């Protein structure tokens, strides 16, 4: 099953069911443009044989970066470089989609001290995030236009689809969550109102890209926080997305405060027994989605064995298998895995032994590997977990300063 084609509702065809899901590249130049490293990264990932590659966060606003090394799709003058990136990424007959995002309150202080967000609810983590300003109606309308323009530029550049990022605590996820959306106007309150921004963006994007261009959405199953976005609310949003006829729904979970997509299946630093039996992190929630929607469905997180991937595809539990970290640690093995020559991709876990640093160590390790790959270097396993946990803060500061001066 993993090697079979998938036809999406818009008519686009993926050559197989394996997807490299989004991982932030962090390598843009000082003008937030792509560099040769983007081409090198995605040409190499294209050679893995995966049917679809999804880029890391491409932001719509230079003041609201997820990372100081983000690319920002906001200027037609960037098209020559964007076209080069798109061509490299689809070199082996696969799709390459742009993940479009706005960080909202998760924009760190190196980008802005007062980020825009649905409400003035500050993210308190390591002192890295300023108190946000509640968005005005004008701010919200500008965001809708920026998402739309980014999608239009993606299509003009030759990318074959877009993914709208409404998970992991970024701006659209912030609007969906009652923890971060305290508004009393048409953009807050009920789940219908909290979903309005996401649904409006989808409608506007569809107008500019046309009926035959794939639009995907990345959605949290839950925030995994008390009072946050729940599974029940997520299912309500899925019903709304069903009506919008999107082409793919990717399920994930968590925010910067609770990085479920890194460590949700662990107890005391060890993999839960339930996860060992059923690899994928969000497979139980996928079953709930299947009961209410037939949208093409993708889960990212936990998939490692060839047999299990084929099992869940054959059972119709998901339509696509999303992987991220294996495209770094097992990049040279993906092709054999797809062909069934390799039964399992071994999981690499990096831990400091200090609970508060674990997510930062994971993030730093993989960020460093991507930067190495972009320079044509290979995988380096023997990295200090503690140094990796500090890497992102140091790198963000240096990258941000290089763009300001």
3-class SS letters over 287-332: HHHHCCCCCCEEEECCCCEHHHHHHHHHCCCCCEEEECCHHHHCHH
Specify the pLDDT at position 278: 53
What distance in Å separates the CA atoms of residue 78 and residue 82, rounded to the nearest whole number?
A: 6
For residue 74, count CB atoms less than 10 angstroms from its CB and return exposed for 0-12, middle for 13-18, buried for 19 or more: middle
- What pLDDT sits at residue 102? 98
Predicted local distance difference test score (pLDDT) of residue 268 = 44
CATH assignment, 6-351: 3.20.20.70
What pLDDT was estimated at residue 264? 46
Which pLDDT belongs to residue 266?
44
User: Of 269, 26, 254, nearest to 125 (Cα)?
Assistant: 254
pLDDT tens, N- to C-terminus, the chain (405 residues) = 999 999 999 999 999 999 999 999 999 999 999 999 999 999 999 999 999 999 999 999 999 999 999 999 999 999 999 999 999 999 999 999 999 999 999 999 988 999 999 999 999 876 789 999 999 999 999 999 999 999 999 999 999 999 999 999 999 999 999 999 999 999 999 999 999 999 999 999 999 999 999 999 999 998 777 778 999 999 999 999 999 999 999 998 877 665 555 444 444 444 455 444 457 788 999 999 999 999 999 998 889 999 999 999 999 999 999 999 999 999 999 999 999 999 999 877 767 666 767 778 888 999 999 999 999 999 999 999 888 989 988 998 899 888 876
Per-residue pLDDT, 352: 66
Question: Residue 257: its pLDDT value, please?
Answer: 62
Distances (CA, A) of 212 to 60, 204, 207, 229: 23, 15, 11, 32
Q: Residues with Cβ < 8 Å from 41, sequence gap 6 or more?
A: 25, 370, 373, 374
Report domain extents, the chain: 6-351
In this prediction, residue 386 carries a pLDDT of: 87
The model's pTM: 0.93
What integer pLDDT is reported at residue 356 of this predicted model? 66
Residue 357 DSSP class? G
């Amino acid at each position: 099953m993993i090697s079979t084609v998938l036809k999406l509702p818009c008519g686009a065809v993926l050559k197989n069911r394996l997807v490299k899901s989004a991982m932030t590249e962090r390598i843009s130049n000082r003008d937030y443009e792509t560099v040769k490293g983007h081409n090198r990264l995605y040409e190499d990932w294209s050679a893995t044989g995966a049917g679809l590659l999804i880029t890391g966060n491409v932001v719509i606003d230079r003041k609201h970066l997820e990372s100081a090394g983000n690319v920002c799709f906001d200027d037609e003058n960037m098209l020559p470089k964007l076209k080069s990136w798109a061509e490299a990424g689809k070199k082996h007959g696969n799709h390459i989609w742009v993940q479009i995002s706005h960080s909202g309150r998760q924009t760190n202080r190196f980008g802005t001290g007062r980020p825009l967000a649905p409400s003035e609810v500050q993210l308190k983590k390591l002192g890295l995030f300023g108190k946000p300003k509640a968005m005005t109606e004008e701010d919200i309308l500008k965001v809708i236009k920026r998402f739309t323009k980014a999608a239009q530029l993606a299509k003009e550049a030759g990318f074959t689809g877009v993914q709208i990022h409404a998970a992991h605590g970024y701006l659209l996820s912030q609007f969906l969550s009652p923890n971060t959306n305290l508004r009393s106007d048409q953009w807050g309150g009920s789940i219908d109102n909290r979903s309005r921004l996401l649904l409006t963006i989808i409608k506007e994007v569809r107008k500019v890209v046309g009926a035959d261009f794939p639009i995907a959405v990345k959605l949290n199953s839950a925030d995994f926080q008390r009072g946050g976005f729940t599974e029940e609310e997520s299912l309500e949003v899925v019903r709304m997305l069903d009506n919008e006829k999107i082409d793919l729904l990717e399920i994930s979970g968590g925010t910067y405060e609770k990085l479920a997509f890194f460590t949700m299946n662990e107890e005391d630093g060890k993999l839960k027994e339930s996860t060992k039996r059923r690899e994928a992190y969000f497979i139980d929630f996928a079953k709930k989605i299947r009961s209410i929607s037939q949208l093409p469905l993708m889960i990212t997180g936990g998939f490692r064995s060839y047999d299990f991937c084929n099992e869940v595809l054959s059972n119709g539990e998901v339509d696509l298998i999303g992987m991220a970290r294996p495209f770094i640690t097992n990049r040279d093995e993906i092709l054999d895995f797809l062909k069934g020559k390799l039964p399992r991709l071994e999981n690499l876990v990096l831990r400091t032994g200090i609970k508060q640093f674990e997510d930062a160590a994971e993030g730093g390790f993989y960020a460093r590997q991507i930067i190495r790959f972009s320079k044509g270097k290979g995988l380096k396993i023997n990295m200090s977990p503690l140094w990796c946990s500090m890497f992102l803060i140091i790198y963000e500061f240096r990258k941000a300063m290089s763009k300001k001066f």
